[in-house]
Amino acid sequence: MTPLERPLPVEIAGDPRWMTVDRIADSQCFHRSARLRDFLLYVAEQQLSGHPEGITEQYIGHRVYGRRENYSPMEDNIVRVSARQLRAKLREFYETEGKDEPWIVEIPKGGYTPLFLKRETPQPPAAQESPQASPKAKLGVHYWFFAAALALAGVFLGWFIPHRSPGQVERNTESNLIKSLFLSSKEPVQVVLSDPSLVLMQTMLGRRFTIDEYSDQSYRRLSSALMGNPQAERLWATLETRQIANIGDVGAATRMQDALSTSSSESPIRVRSAQTMHTRDFRTGNFIVLGDSFSDPWAQIFNENQFNFQFERNFSLGQPVIRNTKPHAGEQSVYPENARGSQDYARVVLVPNLTNSGQVLLIAGLSMESTEAAADFCLDSASTQVLVHALGVSKGGKIPFFEAVLHTSTEGGAGIGGKLVSVRIFHPAV
């Protein structure tokens, strides 16, 4: 059964991006290119329905071109050749029939995952900045590269999660927060890694992208403020075509996987990049989201302003803080990032998913290291006992929705632990 013959997932049928793909596939440009049409429909469906793992050369060769399931792409380059042809067809479409399409569909070189870019509404000439005259485009480009070098020193491209065999896992029989919340989950808990490439993009522009811009991928389009600056353009091109994860997130996800390991062959943890998620994913199931809304935009859907402990970021200073909106006696009103970097703060929040049918644990620090330390706090049995006591939960009782601030420490560039500073029971808005 070809991609054209398979039933279309209900959740993407009304998606304007899918409707654009459908029009492209039905255009004169693709009239005599049935295989390229199938190629486009297949990768678009996989991406929009939240299954980017199906967009590989192996899968495309098998499912679109009918190659055997275990064929060798090294010996058969049908997918790579077809991808070049598909890119040419898409360019032809947008130069002719698609000149007025509101969405631009691209297949970036080096991969097969489609990008969906919303056309920008043209602005009056007076409102546009001249790229050559824009101080933002010129000032600080060396800072961007310095920041990128520092950030990429703590991350790696094409993120990879090491999976340990049962014999390698040392089972910790003591309870901790992760076990208490998710050990009885009937389906794998999804750990959503933060997006360092997004952090760098936002830092370059001095602004935060909205969840809509992230969801429809329009944030990937190079801003007019950076056009004309070759260094900025090259850096942006690298960031928009790579999935990046930081080592702290990956290590935390692996330790969580170990904590929830059972005798079952099915992994208790499913690790996902923020780039592969969609808002609808959070309607059902249990999740652990690593990073605040600046580094993991999906934290935005849980409405930051409903929390007592709120993340704030000042672009002019570059310093994130956690604001305590209603401090109790003896509490700080603001928890800032420590300039020396040896001590920091983090927030841990437990909220319901979007349909109140599961739980979402939000773990975020003021730095990569403090997020890592907060994750370790959630995996430590003694820390969990302190938290449970502070929440007034009796032995064996259910942990309520809550929000907590942690004082974290780092050593050698890694988060090494957290101490509970303040906690509140959280009452979700009905």
C-alpha span between 209 and 294 (Å, rounded): 8
Please state the rounded mean pLDDT for residues 74-97.
90
For residue 132, is pLDDT > 60?
no
C-alpha span between 191 and 196 (Å, rounded): 16
Q: Which long-range contacts (CB under 8 A, 24 or more apart) does 10-15 make?
A: 11/49, 11/280, 12/45, 12/48, 12/49, 15/48
The residue length of the chain stands at: 430
Rounded to the nearest integer, the mean pLDDT of the chain is 81
**Domains of the chain by residue range:** 10-118, 148-425
Please state the rounded mean pLDDT for residues 84-92.
92
For residue 137, is pLDDT > 50?
no
Q: Following DSSP, what letter does each residue of 198-237 receive, concatenated?
A: HHHHHHHHTSPPPHHHHHTTGGGSPPTTTTT-HHHHHHHH
C-alpha span between 348 and 21 (Å, rounded): 40
pLDDT in tens, 208-228: 898 888 888 888 888 888 888
pLDDT at 11: 62
| H/E element, 79 | helix 78-95
Lowest mean pLDDT among 187-201, 208-222, 256-270: 256-270
Structure tokens at 419: 């101490």
0.75 exceeded by pTM? no
CA atoms within 13 A of residue 36's CA, in its CB half-sphere = 23
Residue 355's pLDDT band, with cuts at 50, 70 and 90, is very high
pLDDT at 287: 96
For residue 155, is pLDDT > 90?
no
| H/E element, 345 | strand 343-352
C-alpha dist (Å) from residue 154 to 146, 289, 401, 402: 13, 19, 32, 30
Q: How large a percentage of the chain has pLDDT more than 90?
A: 37
Q: How large a percentage of the chain has pLDDT more than 70?
A: 78
Quote the crossing angle between the two packed helices 230-240 and 196-205, to the nearest 10°.
Answer: 150
Phi-psi region of 11 (alpha: psi -120 to 50; beta: other; left: phi over 0): alpha
Please state the rounded mean pLDDT for residues 301-325.
83
pLDDT at 53: 79
